[in-house]
A = this chain, B = another copy of it.
Amino acid sequence: MSQQRVALVGLGSMGGGMARVLVNAGFAVHGYDVDPQREAEFAAVSGAAADPAALADVSAVILVVVNARQVEEVLFADNRFGPGGIVGCLSPGAAVVNCATVPPAFAREMAGRIGPDRYIDAPVSGGTARAASGDLAVLASGSPAAFERGGAVLEAMAGTVYRLGAEAGAGSAMKAVNQLLAGVHIAAAAEAITFGMAQGLDPGQIISVIGDCAGNSWMLQNRGPHIRDGDYAPLSAVEIFVKDLGLVDDIARDARFSAPLTAAALAQFLAASGSGLGAEHDAAVAKVYARNAGLTLPGDTE
């Protein structure tokens, strides 16, 4: 049996890990990125060239780009892949697996344009560490025919593939629910840690004690240590939550859904970005709280 050939577009902190997991799982993976150095590094690992001509032979293309605009551009615009983008290059049976965070309505639109028997709405959650270890949660929806085509590659790069419905959109809706909670919980962790510091508590003690209490969250344990250690190297940047909570806010506004915690958390990430912290780790939202309270955070040299 010959090696299955797939393409992955977007070799960033999530996609780079996912592409390497697929290589290790035995796939021939053609990796593409706007950054030529990333492309070259990945091609050296995979042994498969970042050649647009290869797209004609892949059974699936996986998109790990930033947002809906990039998805549309990569798939349909006249670009380096050719006139009409990637969709113009693929064989008619190839699956399109979209892992980017997009509005549910956009996922439905893509399924309509590409064909519901080929499109899987497949955003992921778990962060860079789980991406690199092949342990991501995939929040997927799409037709049985589309899973027939693209399900195996999803299974190969994930810990669990949740199949949330037979139509595109359900996966993206669940991802929006997750990003709502993730973004609110990061801001809440920053609010709680700095509030506690203002009351004389130690940040490390807060994280460990609350870990045993009803106020615990995945984000408190994951992002809290970055605040405790003053470590803002951008595994996931402030701008990602400006984008993702912005997306939730847009969906909520369109649906006339009042989401005050989302709005409050978004305002804090906007303040972080607006004050020059957009490229830092999203835990840097704590710096907004600290500045507003006249507090000095760990690692703050000013």
Contact = CB atoms under 8 A, between A and B. Distances in A.
Interface of A: 104, 125-127, 137, 139, 159-160, 162, 164, 169-170, 173-174, 176-182, 184-185, 187-189, 191-196, 198-201, 205-206, 209-210, 212-220, 222, 248, 251-252, 255-265, 267-268, 289, 292-294
Q: Which residue among A169, A215, A222, A292 has the maximum number of chain B CB atoms within 10 Å of its CB?
A: A215
A215 B125 CA distance: 9
A178 B126 contact: no
Nearest to A255: B198
Q: How many copies does the complex hold?
A: 2
Nearest to A173: B199
B192 A173 contact: no
Given A195-B252, A201-B174, A261-B264, A181 B292 contact: no
Question: A interface, by DSSP: helix, strand, loop or mixed?
Answer: helix
Contacts of A213: 125-126, 137, 139, 178, 182, 218
A242 to B, nearest CB: 16
A260 to B, nearest CB: 4
12 contacts: A104-B199, A137-B209, A159-B212, A164-B201, A170-B200, A177-B196, A177-B206, A179-B215, A195-B262, A217-B217, A217-B218, A260-B267
Contact of A264 (B214, B215, B222, B264): B264
Given A160-B212, A173-B196, A201-B173, A185 B217 contact: yes
B176 A195 contact: yes
